[in-house]
Amino acid sequence: MDKITKKPLVGILMGSDSDLPVMEKAAEVLKEMGVPYEIEISSAHRLADRTAEYARTARGRGVEVIIAGAGMAAHLAGVIAAHTTLPVIGVPIKSGALNGVDALYSTVQMPPGVPVATVAIDGAKNSAYLACSVLSIKYPEVVGRLDAFREKTRQGLMEKSKRLRRKPY
Ligand code: RP5
């Protein structure tokens, strides 16, 4: 069991700055959970060498989980997974003519031995919660924060349900 320091434990990558409105939601969740992260743009196609280098050096720099979001022919998460054995979480992004279905298929259909844990189209929030679940194996602080978040969600929904039940029909 370890203690969290200021060193980034999660690397968030995205293929383009146009992915930022979606991917910053992952950053927000990690901030709420007190998990340090680094965030960068690096494309599988337009910055191929840099992407490979990022993935190869991530473990050595102390990164423990990588989140990669990309749209259209989304190969970012897969290319990262090809260059590291760290857990890689892919976020297919809704962009282009096919509204993210292309990115979903490109991200999820990895060959055996090179897995990418793929969340829903634009599922950046869940990518961060999943990263927290992975980290919770080693960092007990994260377990407590995940439990507190689930409890807050539960309470909020119970409140909403109560308010709805009180409405006259
Ligand atoms: C992908 O192509 C990016 O991840 C982005 O979702 C999409 C469009 O990129 P831009 O043309 O907006 O840079 O590689």
Confidence of residue 144 (pLDDT cuts 50, 70, 90): very high
Cα gap 69→50, rounded to integer Å: 16
Q: What is the pLDDT of residues 39-77, one digit of tens each?
A: 999 999 999 999 999 999 999 999 999 999 999 999 999
Q: Tell me which of 46, 95, 104, 121 to substitute to probe ligand 1's pocket, judged by most ligand atoms within 8 Å of the beta carbon.
A: 95
Confidence of residue 95 (pLDDT cuts 50, 70, 90): very high
Is the pLDDT assigned to residue 167 strictly greater than 80?
A: no
User: Mean pLDDT of all residues in the chain?
Assistant: 97
Cα gap 38→8, rounded to integer Å: 6
17: CB partners within 8 A, 6+ apart: 41
CA 98 to centroid of ligand 1, rounded, Å: 13
Q: Which domains does the chain have, with CATH numbers?
A: 10-166 (3.40.50.1970)
Three-state DSSP at 10 gives strand
Cα gap 34→91, rounded to integer Å: 21
Looking at ligand 1, which residue's alpha carbon is closest to its atom 9?
16
Q: Which tokens belong to 75?
A: 């190969």
Q: C-alpha distances in angstroms, 64 versus 34, 46, 67, 102?
A: 15, 25, 10, 28
Q: What is the pLDDT of residues 100-129, one digit of tens each?
A: 999 999 999 999 999 999 999 999 999 999
Cβ atoms within 10 A of the Cβ of 89, count? 29
Q: How far apart are the first and last CA of the chain?
A: 53
CA 1 to centroid of ligand 1, rounded, Å: 39
Poorest-pLDDT segment among 1-10, 124-133, 144-153 = 1-10
Three-state DSSP at 12 gives strand
- Side chain identity at residue 46, one-letter code: R
- DSSP per residue over 52-95, as a string? HHHHHHHGGGT--EEEEEEESS--HHHHHHHH--S-EEEEEE--
